[in-house]
Amino acid sequence: MIFARLRRLPRSIFTKLLLVILVAGICLNFTLGAFFHHAYRRLANSPLKRNLAQYAHLLVADMGIPPDPARARRLASEAGLLIWYHGPERVWANTRISLPAIEWEDRRTIWSERAAIRHVRHHGHFYLRYEIDAQRFTFRLAKPDFEAEDVVKGGLFILAALSITLGLVFIFVRRILKPVDHLTRGVHQVAAGRLDHRVPETGVDEFSQLARAFNQMTGRIKSSLEAREQLLLDVSHELRSPITRMRVALEFLPDSKARAALAEDVAAMDALVGQILEEARTHHEAGQLDLIPLDLAAAVKTAADGFSARRPGVVLNIPEGDWQVPADAAKVQTVLSNLLENAIKYSTTDSGAVRVELRHQAEGIEIRIRDEGVGIPPADLEHILEPFYRVDKSRTKATGGYGLGLSLCHTIMQAHRGRITISSQMGRGTEVTLLFPIDGALG
């Protein structure tokens, strides 16, 4: 389940929204940074030039032209400077470090009334050149008061701040999109037939309005289905009396082909009414199961024994193990009998035996019933569990049935909080899978 969520993550709305926020944040920071950098250069350039020129004048005035070595060394020591002097008569420096080769001609000149001043950053140091009357002073200013460790610490601080920001963005986006998860869960619940499920309607935003509309829709669908079921139930009850009177009247008619055909039709009507009433009763008693520790292996063997004499036969594959689940024995037998009946009925003369297999799964115990019959068309698979739905639309006596068997199985499995799934291929057969939760909490 975790891996499935990770595979869906790149396609989720949450991921897309988070990426939009990140890209927007990066673009905004870049734009603001570029703007403030440009503004700083425009606003600070002129004062910086004037300050540099004034600083150079003060340095040279303090040392003298040509410089007094003692005063120059004292000044260099106090200010943390390296000084190189080149004049017509002598060359002097307060350091043994050679002046690096710098292309001063490519630098802009800060002109003053008394001298030409240039500045440059070279290999992490700031250099200042002061030229006056064929004499040249070069100053190397002290490095900024931070080291590589400070850069690392600053980077870690930025990374931590960015991580905290992303974490907060993740939390808030997740919270904003929480109603989408509720709606998705609600859609899955309704698709599984649980129309009592309601989506939380917290808040006043568009998601809450959508949740209210969803709940209203499912409520109307539930009311419509209940009204239809109640109508079927009422009609079935009302039909019981005239059918009984018809059967009694038939007993007084002389034997004939017409009487036999009429009796067969009345029996078919009575069977249909009986199945309708049974399904309605099962829906009504869905929450009142007689749950006991049921051995599914024994239940499968009991159901298969009833079809042992019918072709193509039933083959069981039940490994050794514990197959107990909390279930209603009678209703489980109804499900197994209906499914085995369908598997036998829709097998062909060339079909292999119907195979029944039990498996342990993470969610519970699985029963698989596989036949090699005619199969079910893909267009009918999504409706096959609906009441009165039949693949054979002709409803002839030859095929029999009223489309209630699989619907009854679906209802019983829902009552057990289990699942029934059907897969099929035309001409190759059908596989029905029943999943019973071991602790009754599958849903």
Is the pLDDT confidence value at 185 over 80? yes
The verdict on residue 183 lying in a domain is: no
Residue 288: predicted pLDDT: 64
Give yes or no for a contact between 344 and 401, defined as CB atoms under 8 angstroms apart.
no
Assess whether 8 and 141 both reside in one domain: yes
Q: Among residues 264, 284, 304, which one ends one of the domains? A: 284
pLDDT(433) > 90: yes
Clarify whether residues 336 and 428 are in a common domain. Answer: yes
Question: Both 306 and 432 in a single domain?
Answer: yes
pLDDT, tens digit, 9 for 90 and up, residues 226-246: 777 676 667 777 777 788 888
Which range of 104-113, 122-131, 191-200, 380-389 scores highest in mean pLDDT? It is 122-131
Residues 265 and 363 in one domain: no
The answer on pLDDT for 44 being more than 90 is no
Q: Are residues 342 and 359 in the same domain?
A: yes
Kindly write down the DSSP assignment for every residue of 219-274, as one continuous string. HHHHHHHHHHHHHHHHHHHHHHHHHHHHHHHHTTSPP-HHHHHHHHHHHHHHHHHH
Mean pLDDT of 101-116: 72
Residues 99 and 220 in one domain: no
Residue 155 within a domain: no
Position 404 pLDDT exceeds 50: yes
Q: Are strands 354-360 and 314-317 parallel, antiparallel or unpaired?
A: parallel
Q: For the chain, give me the number of helices (H) and strands (E)?
A: 11, 13
Range scoring the smallest mean pLDDT among 97-101, 188-192, 372-376: 188-192
Query: b or e along 54-77 (b: 16 or more beta carbons within 10 Å of the residue's beta carbon)?
Result: ebbbebbeebeeebeeeebeebbe
pLDDT exceeds cutoff 50 at 394: no
Tokens of 326: 């909390």
- Examine the domain organization and report whether 335 and 405 are in the same domain: yes
Work out the mean pLDDT of the chain and round it to a whole number. 79
Confidence at residue 284, expressed as pLDDT on a 0 to 100 scale: 58
Whole-angstrom CA distances from 383 to 133, 148, 191, 231 are 101, 70, 12, 21
Distance (Å, whole) CA 331 – CA 223: 26
pTM (2 d.p.) = 0.49
Q: Is the pLDDT of residue 442 over 70?
A: no
Regarding whether 242 and 213 lie in a shared domain, the answer is yes
Q: Give the range among 269-283, 314-328, 370-384 with minimum mean pLDDT.
A: 269-283
At residue 316, the pLDDT reads 92
- Domains contained in the chain, number: 3
Residues 333 and 273 grouped into a single domain? no
Domain of 296: which CATH number?
A: 3.30.565.10
Q: Is the pLDDT of residue 298 over 90?
A: yes
Element (DSSP H or E) covering residue 75: helix 69-79
Answer with the one of 226, 253, 284 that is the final residue of a domain.
Answer: 284
Q: Give the model's confidence band at 45: pLDDT under 50 very low, under 70 low, under 90 confident, else very high.
A: low
- Strand order of the β-sheet with 110-111 is 91-93, 82-86, 135-141, 125-132, 116-122, 110-111
Kindly state whether residue 244 falls inside one of the protein's structural domains.
Answer: yes
Amino acid at site 351 = S
Rounded CA separation 201/85 (Å)? 81
Q: How far apart are the first and last CA of the chain?
A: 16
CATH number of the structural domain spanning residue 247: 1.10.287.130
Beta strands in 258-375 (DSSP E): 292-295, 314-317, 324-327, 354-360, 364-370
Strand partners, 354: 314
Is the confidence at residue 207, as pLDDT, over 90?
no
In a domain, 195, yes or no: no
Provide the domain limits for residue 47.
2-145
Same domain, 51 and 126: yes
DSSP, collapsed to helix, strand or coil, labels residue 328 as coil
**Pair 322, 426 in one domain:** yes
Instruction: Let me know if residue 164 belongs to a domain.
Output: no
154: in domain: no
In a domain, 201, yes or no: no
| Cβ-contact 372, 429 below 8 angstroms | yes
Q: Establish if 163 belongs to a structural domain.
A: no
Whether residue 26 sits in one domain with residue 8: yes
Q: Which tokens hold the place of 369?
A: 């019933």
Domain boundary among 125, 145, 165: 145
Whether the CB-CB separation of 392 and 380 falls below 8 Å is answered with: no
Q: Which two tokens stand for residue 105?
A: 């001609």
Sheet holding 419-425: strands in order across? 314-317, 354-360, 364-370, 429-437, 419-425
The CA-CA-CA angle for residues 63, 68, 70, to 5°, reads: 100
